[in-house]
């Protein structure tokens, strides 16, 4: 297979997978509406993930705190993946599985939202963060994959679980990125309609 054919195959697989996940559109609208209502009521969005999903958490946070495409007020989206001192102290003193849960316990308040981003649904630190959120009356939105894993079983009927229909990590992450941009686009529209 030539290099060009490999790239074309990669683009085709991505495009097909994105279109195969259009069924998530109602959940994306619900997530954006819920996040915006949280902001309007003085709440904040806490966001976490591991690896590439940590980068997605930081990406979403920057789009909210700064701006996405349009000029608007700053919105409180906080990535729990950025404080190396906090993450390493919790990991060292307790366990890596607690790095997000302890932050959610400290920072989360009723009315806030926790968004967890995972391609597998089986990361212990993500599942523990959801449990901590529920203990603080913080609702959850999950960008999930690979059938939902253990995470789907930890979410309540009041949470939103967007499980990307794929078992390929790269394809799941591509859809997660698109979902993040769609949420930001909707929030921009809600804000400018005020």
**CATH number of the domain to which 27 belongs:** 3.40.50.10490
- pTM summary value: 0.96
* Closest by Cα among 56, 111, 108 to 81: 56
Can you read off the two tokens belonging to residue 22? 């259009």
Half-sphere exposure of residue 182: CA atoms within 13 angstroms, side-chain side: 18
Structural domains counted in the chain:
1
CA-nearest of 174, 158, 150 to 13 is 174
What distance in Å separates the CA atoms of residue 33 and residue 27, rounded to the nearest whole number? 10
Three-class SS string for 136-175? CCCEEEEEECHHHHHHHHHCCCCCEEEECCCCCHHHHHHH
| Domain housing 50 | 3-193
Angle between helices 169-193 and 3-20 (to 10 degrees): 50
Among 164, 174, 146, 152, CA closest to 59: 174
Tokens representing 23 are: 């069924």
173 within 8 A of 147, measured Cβ to Cβ: no
Backbone angles phi, psi at 108, to 5 degrees: -75, 140
Q: What tens-digit pLDDT sequence spans the chain (194 residues)?
A: 789 999 999 999 999 999 999 999 999 999 999 999 999 999 999 999 999 999 999 999 999 999 999 999 999 999 999 999 999 999 999 999 999 999 999 999 999 999 999 999 999 999 999 999 999 999 999 999 999 999 999 999 999 999 999 999 999 999 999 999 999 999 999 987 76
Query: Length of the chain, please?
Result: 194
d(CA 37, CA 186): 12
């Amino acid at each position: 297979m030539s290099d060009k054919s490999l790239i074309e195959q990669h683009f085709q697989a991505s495009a097909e997978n994105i279109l195969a996940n259009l069924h998530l559109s109602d959940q994306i609208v619900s997530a954006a509406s819920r996040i915006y209502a949280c902001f309007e009521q003085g709440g904040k969005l806490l966001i976490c993930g591991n690896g590439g999903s940590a980068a997605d958490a930081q990406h979403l946070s920057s789009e909210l705190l700064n701006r996405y495409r349009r000029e608007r007020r700053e919105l409180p989206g906080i990535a729990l993946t950025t404080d190396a001192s906090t993450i390493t102290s919790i990991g060292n003193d307790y366990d890596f599985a607690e790095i997000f849960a302890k932050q959610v316990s400290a920072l989360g308040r009723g009315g806030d939202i926790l968004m967890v981003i995972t391609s597998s649904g089986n990361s212990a630190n993500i599942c523990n963060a959801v449990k901590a959120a529920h203990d603080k009356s913080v609702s959850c939105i999950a960008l999930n994959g690979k059938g939902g894993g253990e995470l789907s079983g930890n979410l309540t009927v009041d949470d939103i679980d967007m499980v990307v229909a794929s078992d390929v990590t790269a394809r799941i992450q591509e859809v997660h990125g698109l979902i993040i941009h769609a949420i930001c686009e909707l929030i921009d529209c809600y804000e400018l309609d005020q």
